[in-house]
């Protein structure tokens, strides 16, 4: 069962999939399926401040965010269009160990993870 199939079935409408809750969704995906967090930053300053433009989870070589399958190029575009400076060559896309605490909400992550697990069990029946 692919993460895409599960993400299509899970209702994430109460979450800000691309801007505010991408961190929580990505952490929930990682906790559920394994994988690695990948973040994009508009520039070196945002990178050092721990302020990603977008976060996704790489699972078995494929990147996923709240919208399903994505790419490193798409992560870079989110940083580019979300940045006031818009300097394509300053954008950083890299793996991260864990998100900055100010962006991470354990309650939301737990709720998203429960929804993912519930959907996995529902599809197995």
Structural domains counted in the chain: 1
Q: In what order do the strands lie in the sheet with 68-70?
A: 68-70, 62-65, 54-59, 36-41, 92-96
Burial level of 72, CB count in 10 A (0-12/13-18/19+)?
Answer: middle
pTM for the whole structure: 0.90
Q: What is residue 38's three-state secondary structure?
A: strand
CA–CA distance, 90 with 21 (Å, rounded to integer): 24
pLDDT band with cut points at 50, 70 and 90 for residue 62:
very high
Q: What is residue 12's three-state secondary structure?
A: coil
pLDDT band with cut points at 50, 70 and 90 for residue 36:
very high
Q: Which residue has the tokens 């961190």?
A: 23
What is the reported pLDDT for 86? 67
Residue 31 in this model has a pLDDT that exceeds 90: yes
pLDDT band with cut points at 50, 70 and 90 for residue 1:
confident
Instruction: For 73-97, write each residue's pLDDT tens digit.
Output: 999 998 888 777 668 888 999 999 8
Helix (H) or strand (E) holding 92: strand 92-96
| Domain extent for 43 | 3-124
């Amino acid at each position: 069962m692919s993460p895409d199939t599960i993400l299509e079935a899970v209702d994430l409408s109460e979450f800000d999939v691309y801007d505010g809750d991408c961190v929580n969704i990505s952490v929930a995906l990682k906790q559920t399926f394994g994988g690695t967090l990948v973040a994009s930053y508009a520039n070196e300053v945002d990178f050092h401040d721990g302020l990603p433009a977008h976060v996704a989870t790489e699972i078995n070589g494929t990147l996923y965010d709240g919208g399903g399958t994505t790419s490193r190029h798409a992560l870079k575009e989110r940083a580019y269009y979300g940045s006031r400076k818009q300097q394509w060559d300053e954008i950083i896309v890299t793996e991260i160990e864990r998100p900055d605490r100010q962006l991470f909400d354990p309650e939301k992550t737990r709720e998203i993870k429960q929804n993912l697990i519930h959907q996995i069990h529902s599809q197995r029946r």
